[in-house]
Amino acid sequence: MTAVDPRLLGRRVTVKVPATTANLGPGFDTLGLALSVYDELEVSVREAPGASVAVHGVGEGEVPTDESNLVVRSIAHTFAAHGLAMPGLDLVAHNVIPHGRGMGSSGAAIVSGVMAAKGLLEGIVDMTADDLLARATELEGHPDNVAPALFGGLTIAWVTPEGPQHKRLTVHRGVSLLVAVPETSTMSTALARSLQPESVPHQDAIFNVSRSALLIAALIQSPELLLAATEDKLHQTYRASAMPETNALITVLREHGLAAVVSGAGPSVLVLCSDPAQRLQAAELIEQHATTPWVSHMLAVDFKGATVNTHPVEAAV
């Protein structure tokens, strides 16, 4: 590891990263959408080593504010991947994405750190899109959330011996989104994964392959197929017992012809609508049938993905 590069001193960047929803029903660990909800981050290089984090909004008073913070660890990981020492940092995080609700909060934190490192190292290290995805996936463990957070839109992500790959697609303009978020209950991704079997029946695998292919067509070309395209037999049924109200709401919504699925690992519910009237219907059904407080968010697909802006180094007075 080299010493801290003196060119970093005084550098400052701001980062904006969208929330995401992964799986989308049948596309387990493969498909993801970027959402129009954003965490923002300011990072400044300081002379003193270490890192301090000020958190505003979601996670304030709960998440670590030192070098163990996930964003800081992501910055350090990205610097280390390029053989560089992380400088001393001051971070200010403005968080909006709910934690533990299946909207990609950990993926957003990781992407925030990777993008901050990219901005801080501008002119020192050139990072490609593949580099960014590789660093984020190394930390997240799978690319289905970090890919849409990085690149926006609908992403298909897969892993090869050379590293994670992605394809970004543009969602049909007729598709609108609703994400219903429970105010109190959360779900650990690790717990959700532990509820799944190590193997599934052959017919269930074939079922999901067909629905995943259909879902791509529905999202980019034929929104009227969304209900059939969001059927799943790989993960939602196995996790249902841990999220009974989520499962009950999805059942009601689908009985009314709405393409409702678990958002990520849950417990939030994603409804993929083929017209705005369906979103209103979904919100009404959730309000009628939920037994605990839920908030329905009418969202758009984010098409930009994560952004980083660098700021001129202030000259010493």
Binding site feature residues for ATP: 98-108
Residue with tokens 């390029």: 82
**Residue 99 corresponds to which tokens in the numbers above?**
């934690």
What Å distances lie between residue 177 and 104, 221, 296, 302, CA to CA?
Answer: 16, 16, 10, 11
Q: Helix 105-120 crosses helix 129-140 at what angle (to 10 degrees)?
A: 140
Start-to-end CA distance of the chain, whole Å, equals 32
**Separation CA 193–CA 175 (nearest Å):** 29
Closest CA to 250 of 20, 145, 237: 237
Closest CA to 25 of 238, 244, 262: 262
User: Phi then psi for 219, rounded to 5 degrees?
Assistant: -75, -30
- The H or E element that residue 291 is part of is none
